[in-house]
Amino acid sequence: MKKDTILARAGRHEAEFHGAINPPVYHVSTIAFPTVAAFEEAARNRFSGVYYGRYGQPTSLALEEAVAALDGGYRAVAVPSGLAAIVTGLLAFVRPGDHVLVTDAVYGPTRETCNTLLRDMGVETTYFDPLIGADIGELIRPNTRLVYLESPGSLTFEVQDVPTIAAAARGRGLRVLMDNTWATPYYFRPLEHGVDVAILAATKYIGGHSDLMLGLVVATEEAYGPVKAASARLGYAPAPDDCYLALRGLRTLGVRLARHQANALEVASWLRRRPEVAEVLYPALPGAPGHELWARDFSGASGLFSVVFRPCPEGAVEAFLDGLTHFSIGVSWGGYESLALRVHPERLRTASFRPFPGPVVRFHIGLEDPDDLIADLEQGLARLGRVAARAGPSGRSAVEEAPS
Ligand SMILES: *Cc1c(COP(=O)(O)O)cnc(C)c1O
């Protein structure tokens, strides 16, 4: 089946639900069994059937089945948030005394998890330049257990050479994990590029409507056992309502992503032509950093990118952002609506710092008409220009004459 057919078809079991197309929401803890033998049989198969609410119910099982099919994985595990998926993936494989390699462009809370939870259990983290490629081999120690990738990187959108890094790591017996929230399995299938465990914040594009929290871990057959065991031991039970909404969101993922991509390309191209902008970090844009690798490995792009402004005076970017009509200010992304957020990637990096000439703003381009978004941004840039003008000749010249 092609991916759009998988989106429409996978995980559907109408015959089990009186013909209902979508599996209903099951609010369950106890599952009642008619006999001791039936109970014991269900307990033995608690990871694949319905035994107790915490291990899964028909709605979460349907969602897991559909996402595993889309990602080409053996099975998927649903957990209550994207961060829970990250913690599950890491704890599935590390033991005290281990060492892990993590991309320096990793999602901030993943870094926090490594720097606290993993550190406290005696696991050491080394961050590496996301563009390291085959040189990852030089960082592998006898106790290195896994390599953790995220491509494109959070906030800065470096595209990683996933097949090369994964091959080098697997050749040395390491597990390879990847956060694939940006592309989703609709545009990139990590397991086909040498990754063992793909991590998804379903909160983002799979939910697609900014109204649920959910994570998914998709694993190869070899990696599935430890992943499911870790999620069970952590006690993670995803909310049935959120599983229902995520499965419903998944059905329209393809059409939504195509529009996010088209709108984002239009807005990003417009922004790149503006004199206030130094650089647009959107791998789908020809000429942008990472474009060649992205074009080689990905079949599309989602609607999230960052813009590096030229140097501008204090308050100018705030004036730009505060008056926007169609862009909300807030974290998370992947819903139908546009967002804009001042971000500070330089505060997180420890292994591959790259100074930016001016402030960085991350945009999520939603499903609005791009003409309205661009008009809104144009007014915002006029506000930015007025603040720069008020700041006097030095402020103004900084906006107009900064080197690129
Ligand atoms: C948001 C996000 C997560 C975490 O997802 P939550 O559901 O918010 O916990 C993980 N990875 C990336 C890349 C994200 O952007």
Q: Residue 182's pLDDT is what?
A: 98
Q: Tell me, using a 6 A CB cutoff, whether residue 113 lines ligand 1.
A: no
The CA distances from residue 271 to 219, 264, 301, 307, in Å, are 38, 10, 17, 8
Task: Report the nearest atom of ligand 1 relative to the CA of 202.
Answer: 7
Task: Report the nearest atom of ligand 1 relative to the CA of 204.
Answer: 1
Catalytic residue among 75, 204, 228, 349: 204
Q: Residue 354's pLDDT is what?
A: 82
Q: How far apart are CA 132 and CA 149, in angstroms?
A: 11
Instruction: Name 215's bridge partners.
Output: 79, 201
Instruction: Give pTM, 2 decimals.
Output: 0.96
The predicted-structure confidence for 161-187, as pLDDT tens digits, reads as follows 999 999 999 999 999 999 999 999 999
Q: Tell me, using a 6 A CB cutoff, whether residue 213 lines ligand 1.
A: yes
Distance 82 CA to ligand 1 centre (A): 5
Distance 242 CA to ligand 1 centre (A): 15
Q: Residue 393's pLDDT is what?
A: 67
Task: Report the nearest atom of ligand 1 relative to the CA of 150.
Answer: 13
Which of 181, 243, 331, 333 most suits a substitution to test ligand 1, by most atoms within 8 Å of the C-beta?
A: 181
User: Which tokens sit at 186?
Assistant: 């609709």
Catalytic residue among 12, 55, 104, 107: 107
Q: Tell me, using a 6 A CB cutoff, whether residue 83 lines ligand 1.
A: yes
Q: How far apart are CA 133 and CA 121, in angstroms?
A: 29
Catalytic residue among 161, 179, 196, 242: 179
- Of all protein residues, whose CA lies closest to atom 8 belonging to ligand 1? 82
Q: Residue 402's pLDDT is what?
A: 42
What stretches in the chain show pLDDT beneath 70?
393-404
Q: Residue 199's pLDDT is what?
A: 98
Q: Residue 403's pLDDT is what?
A: 40
Please provide the DSSP assignment of 84-144 as one string: HHHHHHHHTT--TT-EEEEETT--HHHHHHIIIIIHHTT-EEEEE-TT-GGGGGGG--TTE
CA nearest 202: which of 104, 66, 368?
A: 66
